[in-house]
Amino acid sequence: MHKVLLSAFLGLATVALLSSTSLAATYVDSAHGSVFTCNYACHVLHGAGGSTLVGGSNAQTLCLSCHGPGGTSTLKAAIHRPAGLLPGDITCLECHNPHADRDNVEGALNDKLVGFQYDYNAYPVVAYALASIRQETTSGLGAVNNVVFQTAADFSRPAGNGPCQICHAAGPVAGTGAFANHAWGTDCSVCHLHGDGFAKHQCVECHDTASGLSATAPKVLTKAGITAAAVGAHLRVLSADAVVGLNDAQWTTRCVECHTGHSGDVLIPNKTGVGISYLQTGGIGLGGSATLVGATSEAEICWSCHDTNGISEWGGNTDTNGTAANYNFGGLYAVDQTTPVSNWVDAWWKSGTAKFSYKTGRIQSTHSANDAVVGSGVDAVDELRCSYCHDVHELALAPNDSKAGKPYLRGSWMGNPYREDGAPQALDTWSTNGSFGAVPRGGTQATQQGGYQIDQNNGDPTTGGLPAQQSPVTAAWDLTNSAGLCVLCHGNDVDNLNQFGDSADAWVGVLGNGHSNAVIGGTGSHTSNIFSMAMRNPSTAPLYTAKGSSQGAPRLAYGNAGAFTDTWPFGDNNTDFWAYGFRSQNSNGFTLSPQVTAAMPFAYRAYNWGASVDDTPDPHYHKFSCSKCHNPHASRLPRLMISNCLDTKHNTWDDRATVSTLGTTTTYAPENRGVTFAMATSAQNCHRLADKANFPNATGDGWNRVTPWTVEGTQDNPGIP
């Protein structure tokens, strides 16, 4: 214990101060000496009672006058008083040399004045060349040992010479017992604060809402009066685990099932923008006693526990879009395409709609949410950052996070209210075809799957049921409310929203970003006209000259016959002019099946999609949510896309026996010769992607270049990043 003779120390200290030793550090280099002079900070030559310390105080009181409450230093310290030791048994000077940082045994300089030069417990006082600390135990003094402390991560070191290790064994570094893995890293001071004398603390002493030990620690729970219902899903591993009536130590056993203190095998680095900004720890530590088996990454830890508890992020899921509809958008499977799996990487995705089996394929893109990832595609599993989107303890530390419950998101997110798009398949029928006959998407009333699903045939979900092409999005579906989570990382500049590569490469259209005019939050500043007669009818047909003419080159929806020189697709539908087309009942047309149902070819009068017919693109005809097109986790398509609604290559409806494929007669306009109905000039699929490889006359470039439904593992435009 501490038996220092002050006079002996003072003599040695004076020598040390006034004459440089062979060691690198001197007083003026130290944290104290670089600011304070001897006689200001600590010493007087003729102090009270013979003391050379100011105020006649003892060294510890002097230290605490600055480092204790009310003192001027931000480096706070309190007396270290382990169980069994009395006040004064361990003092500041037994770990610190107040005069200089000392060289350590590893040839570097210690920090924070750790390691003494003089052992005050010895008599006569012994000087040590290297930074040292004497072991002190409840049974007496131990040996003097070298100590290394260069950063806060050196409290416990692999070499065993960190300052805490002089006296303490941290315990095994791994294991599955409640405290078997107490060695949660090397910065012991994260839990054992110097500011309160390195006292032992349980997790809830900082992380309970009522705790005051740390104002900055995230408050994870309120243990007082807690009920099982109030606990939430992520304060225990198994639903049967007790959470009511636990004492502080028992809470720690709960916490360490997932967390390893503030370090551990898996560290989720801070990401301030999403509310993860833990300055003492650098992030969230995972890898607790219940997580390490087979799980070495954050995502694997989540998936493992979810699998154990029967929780899937696929198929029908948590309702996040209020009163809007919810659908099953498919799931992940092993390579056998039968066994459900949770791991995104290398998984196979199958649509939730059986007839869209052409989509089945391996995952092509994952959402890492990780700033360190700089390219699109499938990320390595240890790059996935679940916590950047999910706030499993509902701390609500991200901007505008309103604690909306499952799935514990850090911001607003409205799930997909649109049915799944898919190419019309053989034998598909639509119960309410209207005048256009039994074709896909003859009007907004045809809602059965097979074909595109947009606002107008899904009840205009983002505009409160009002026609999306005419109405603003409702408050519940503005960018803040429907995609606040996305905005945290991707920002709110929807016009220029583009995560990877050059958006001009990815989008069809000269202005290069379809988000701008089709997605909630866009202003339209990058609107491109991606549907025009020049695109659909490059041969310049149809050129109507009279009623009933140009039946082999009908315009979209058989419209526009009224304005013979109109260069726009839908033309003027206000006057009953007509052009016979492929499917007319009238023999002046081609009478192909399935025929329009009107006696006269007035089907265009039933056109009800609401797109205007003027010569400029419709502003915000679409008002899609982010969820309309993107899966936030993983997708069979690149760029997390779940939709390429107009890829006609997978349309098999045209192949059914009663549906004709157009022949090659020269009475058809050139772009209609030998193409399917899905690629005809009359087809109501404005931004379709034609199968030009098999139907070279077909027109239609789609609306983007990066999400084709190609053969599994193949991308149409591999050169586009």
Partner 1 sequence: MNKFFSPIACLGIGAFWLVLTLSGCSESNQTGGPGTVSPTLAMSTPVRVTGTSEGLVLVSDYDKSAVLKLDPVDLRITGTISVSGRPTGLARAGNEVFVGNESKGNVEVYALDSGGYLRRLGGADHLFGLPNGIAIDAAQGMVFVVDSVARVVKQFNLDGSSAGADIGGGLLAGPTALIVDAVNQLLYVSDYGAPTSAFGDTPSIQILNYAGVLVARIEGTTWNFDRPQGLALNGSGKLFVAEGVAGLVLVFDVTNPLSVVSFPSIGSGALNMPLDVYIDPRNNDLFVTSSLNSEVVVYRGGGA
The contact set with partner 1 (CB under 8 A) reads 2-4, 6, 9, 35-37, 39-40, 44, 48, 53-62, 64-66, 68-72, 74, 76, 78, 87-88, 91, 93, 120, 195-196, 210-216
Residue with tokens 């899609």: 624
CB of 510 to partner 1, least distance (A): 47
CB of 168 to partner 1, least distance (A): 21
Please identify, using beta-carbon distances, which residue of 93 and 332 lies nearer to partner 1: 93
Please identify, using beta-carbon distances, which residue of 223 and 583 lies nearer to partner 1: 223
CA-based nearest residue to 410, from 275, 250, 545, 215: 275
Please identify, using beta-carbon distances, which residue of 78 and 233 lies nearer to partner 1: 78
CB of 312 to partner 1, least distance (A): 38
Please identify, using beta-carbon distances, which residue of 65 and 591 lies nearer to partner 1: 65
Residue 680 · residue 613 · CB < 8 Å? no
Determine whether 500 is exposed, middle or buried from the number of CB atoms within 10 Å of its CB (0-12, 13-18, 19+): middle
Please identify, using beta-carbon distances, which residue of 51 and 412 lies nearer to partner 1: 51
CB of 75 to partner 1, least distance (A): 11
Please give the torsion angle defined by the CA atoms of residues 453, 458, 461 and 463, in that order, rounded to the nearest 10 degrees. 90
CA atoms of 561 and 545, how far apart (whole Å): 9
Please identify, using beta-carbon distances, which residue of 21 and 61 lies nearer to partner 1: 61
Residue 131 · residue 110 · CB < 8 Å? yes
CA-based nearest residue to 133, from 152, 151, 155: 155
CB of 567 to partner 1, least distance (A): 60
CB of 403 to partner 1, least distance (A): 19
One-letter amino acid at 216 equals T
CB of 218 to partner 1, least distance (A): 12
Please identify, using beta-carbon distances, which residue of 97 and 469 lies nearer to partner 1: 97
Please identify, using beta-carbon distances, which residue of 76 and 362 lies nearer to partner 1: 76
Please identify, using beta-carbon distances, which residue of 47 and 459 lies nearer to partner 1: 47
Residue 222 · residue 209 · CB < 8 Å? yes
50 φ/ψ sector (left φ>0, alpha ψ -120 to 50, else beta): left
Residue 271 · residue 371 · CB < 8 Å? yes
CB of 57 to partner 1, least distance (A): 4
Residue with tokens 């149902």: 597
Give residues with Cβ within 8 angstroms of 298, minimum separation 6. Answer: 266, 268, 286, 382, 384, 385, 386, 387
CA atoms of 208 and 594, how far apart (whole Å): 68
Residue 380 · residue 345 · CB < 8 Å? yes
Q: What DSSP character marks residue 472?
A: P
Residue 194, phi then psi, degrees to nearest 5 = -65, -30
CB-CB neighbours of 272 under 10 Å:
11
Residue with tokens 């064994």: 169
CA-based nearest residue to 648, from 674, 603, 594, 686: 686
Please identify, using beta-carbon distances, which residue of 5 and 334 lies nearer to partner 1: 5
Please identify, using beta-carbon distances, which residue of 3 and 616 lies nearer to partner 1: 3
CB of 37 to partner 1, least distance (A): 6
CB of 120 to partner 1, least distance (A): 5
> Distance of alpha carbon 103 from its chain centroid, rounded?
45
Q: What DSSP character marks residue 392?
A: T
CB of 215 to partner 1, least distance (A): 3
Please identify, using beta-carbon distances, which residue of 125 and 679 lies nearer to partner 1: 125
Q: In 418-519, which ranges are continuous DSSP H helix?
A: 479-490, 503-506, 515-518
CB of 197 to partner 1, least distance (A): 9
Max distance between CA atoms of the chain, in angstroms, equals 123
